[in-house]
Amino acid sequence: MVNIATKIGKDVIESLTLGMYEDSRFIYREYIQNAADQIDKAVELGQLESLSEGRIEIEIDRENRRIVIYDNATGIPAEEVAPILKNIAQSTKDRSRNKGFRGIGRLGGLAYCDRLIFETSYKGEDIKSILTWDAQKLKAIINNRAQKEEAAAVIDDVTSLTTQKEDADTSYFKVTLEGISNDILLDKEDIHDYLAMVAPVPYSKSFLYKSEVYDTSKSLSQTIDEYNIYVNNNQVEKAYKTSIYEGEKNNAKKIDDIHDVEFFDIFNHKKELVAWGWYSISNFTKQIPKVNLARGLRLRKGNIQIGLEDCLVKLFKESRGSYYFFGEVHAVHPDLIPNARRDYFLENDTLEFFEHHLKVKFEELHKLYHFSSKMRSKARKIDKLVNFQEEFKEKSKKGFTNEKEKNKYKEKFQVLKQSAQKAEAELGRVSEKLQETSEPQKKIFENIVGYNTEPVEKIANTQLVNEPITKLMTDDLKISKKDKKLISRIFAVIDNVLPKPIADNLKDKIKEEFE
């Protein structure tokens, strides 16, 4: 038997770095999760008292096409810099505990810059190590199809390691990407918004239900890892709010409010917590528009978002279902392992269990926003009666075109009254049933229907429609009876051929001429 030595070609570097991800912004997530792991380690070692002392600072310099990502955690000892930062996919991290664990994400920036520079200093050492990757040279080597270099040789060729003097009391890790070729990575506002939902950051100060989220996580013996992350000195916070808007970002108007949040958890047969989460309760007037940055149920592991906003859409009965909510699903079981792209989890029995129970929960949410739609539909029938009665009152004061027009109003009034009474009866049955059903539906019902306290029979002013004397629009005109009849006929023709708003306006103009 002949043993043939295994060779790993240079194209593997392209697959693991230059061609790994579809969204270029992922590089920020990768560097942040590595920094977060080191902050965790610094807290364990006593170098930082708590996570709140850790800082992850991102500086985006569009003019010079440079990005710098810095953290004040442990840094890397000088003797470990080359083994850690030159080797690919040889991470020593624990995949069940650490946020980054494959040892490939830190090189993702090679796809978008000319030079990738790692600078680090370890506390107690009076030097800093500087490892530089020549990304331009790497791309040229990979694109040269005439040569068949091995991956390790290529890495040695495009990297260089130097050291400089440093204060022995400092520790840090800094990533610098020079010569950025991708404009998206230099858009400070877009990157801030991206990290507001992807990064492990605190909830926005304007999110009124954050205390309830923290209390629930504590009751489940869970912690939500949060780090101080800054983009050009502006702290990043999760973008959850308690109002829902539509329109353009700088000219949006409020269309709904978050009235409460509900929580859920998933335990396996061993009574191990697999996942927990929360979702918002609103009137569900429509899908939450895109201008609301935090829309959709977001999947998170280690408080870092898995995939993008559409990650869990496939588990809903309707693809639109996720977008009726703000909310999070925190996957916590160690067997729920993010894949290399961090856009979902590796296939296993725990994932299958997780998906099954999420689908059950999402079926409840599906019923919830459809319940809201039905309640709003019935409430609108009562509102239509109220609004039409006001219109009837105004018309009665102003005057009808003729008796025929008044009769049309009376007929429409009776139709709306019957529809409102039927809706009232149905809402009454729902209200009784809700005494024995779920809390979310009660809240939705109260928010939508609660203001309709008067019975329809009392709302409907039957005396008005049965008034025997009909006031006509021509009654106040100072013209002869014959002319009044002619104008009434003209008004009737206008009513028949023009839309109501235009007809009313035209009749008012004609009336003004004879008053």
With tokens 């049965």, the residue in question is: 466
56 neighbors 71 (Cβ within 8 angstroms): yes
Tell me what pLDDT residue 408 has: 82
Q: What is d(CA 226, CA 230) in angstroms, rounded to the nearest whole number?
A: 13
Q: What is d(CA 245, CA 258) in angstroms, rounded to the nearest whole number?
A: 11
The average pLDDT across 5-31 equals: 72
Direct distance between the N- and C-terminal alpha carbons of the chain, in angstroms, rounded to an integer = 114
Tell me what pLDDT residue 190 has: 96
pLDDT at 193 over 70: yes
413 neighbors 389 (Cβ within 8 angstroms): yes
Query: 14 is written with which tokens?
Result: 């392209």
Tell me what pLDDT residue 310 has: 93
The average pLDDT across 151-159 equals: 84
Q: What is d(CA 186, CA 8) in angstroms, rounded to the nearest whole number?
A: 34
- Here the contacts of 460-464 (C-beta below 8 Å, separation 24 or greater) are 460/385, 460/389, 460/413, 460/417, 460/420, 461/389, 461/393, 464/389, 464/392, 464/393, 464/396
Tell me what pLDDT residue 75 has: 94
161 neighbors 82 (Cβ within 8 angstroms): yes
Tell me what pLDDT residue 439 has: 80
Q: What angle do CA 337, 51, 192 make, to 5 degrees?
A: 75
Q: Residue 206, SS3?
A: coil
Tell me what pLDDT residue 8 has: 64
Pairing of strands 172-178, 115-121: antiparallel
Highest mean pLDDT among 10-24, 135-149, 172-186, 498-512: 172-186
DSSP at 199: S
The single-letter code of the amino acid at 270 is K
The average pLDDT across 367-386 equals: 88
Cα 114 to the center of its chain, rounded Å: 33
Q: What is the pLDDT of residues 297-343, one digit of tens each?
A: 999 999 999 999 999 999 999 989 999 999 999 999 999 999 888 89
Tell me what pLDDT residue 260 has: 92
Q: Residue 495, SS3?
A: helix
pLDDT at 91 over 60: no
Confidence of residue 289 (pLDDT cuts 50, 70, 90): very high
Pairing of strands 251-257, 243-248: antiparallel
Of 388 and 470, the one with more pLDDT: 388
Q: What is d(CA 441, CA 131) in angstroms, rounded to the nearest whole number?
A: 58
Query: 96 is written with which tokens?
Result: 């069940």
* HSE-CB for 95 with a 13 A CA cutoff: 14
Confidence of residue 515 (pLDDT cuts 50, 70, 90): low
Q: What is d(CA 282, CA 209) in angstroms, rounded to the nearest whole number?
A: 13
Nearest to 507 by CA among 94, 359, 489: 489
Nearest to 155 by CA among 103, 119, 216: 103
Tell me what pLDDT residue 233 has: 96
Pairing of strands 326-331, 296-301: parallel
The average pLDDT across 99-103 equals: 51
pLDDT at 33 over 60: yes
Q: What is d(CA 254, CA 243) in angstroms, rounded to the nearest whole number?
A: 7
Q: What is d(CA 475, CA 492) in angstroms, rounded to the nearest whole number?
A: 15
Average pLDDT across the chain, whole number: 86
Q: What is the pLDDT of residues 442-493, one digit of tens each?
A: 888 888 876 555 667 666 665 555 565 567 766 667 777 777 677 777 777 7
Tell me what pLDDT residue 143 has: 77
pTM equals 0.82
Q: Residue 238, SS3?
A: strand
The average pLDDT across 154-182 equals: 93
pLDDT at 368 over 50: yes
With tokens 């859409």, the residue in question is: 313
Query: 271 is written with which tokens?
Result: 């009574």
* 312: exposed, middle or buried (Cβ count in 10 Å: 0-12, 13-18, 19+): buried
Q: What is d(CA 448, CA 281) in angstroms, rounded to the nearest whole number?
A: 12
Q: Where are the beta strands (DSSP E) in 29-86?
A: 55-61, 66-71
Tell me what pLDDT residue 434 has: 81
| Lowest mean pLDDT segment, chosen from 126-135, 145-154, 187-196, 405-414 | 145-154
Tell me what pLDDT residue 1 has: 58
Tell me what pLDDT residue 175 has: 97
- Here the contacts of 147-153 (C-beta below 8 Å, separation 24 or greater) are 148/9, 148/10, 149/9, 149/10, 150/7, 150/8, 150/9, 150/10, 151/8, 151/9, 151/10, 151/12, 151/13, 151/88, 152/8
Tell me what pLDDT residue 101 has: 45
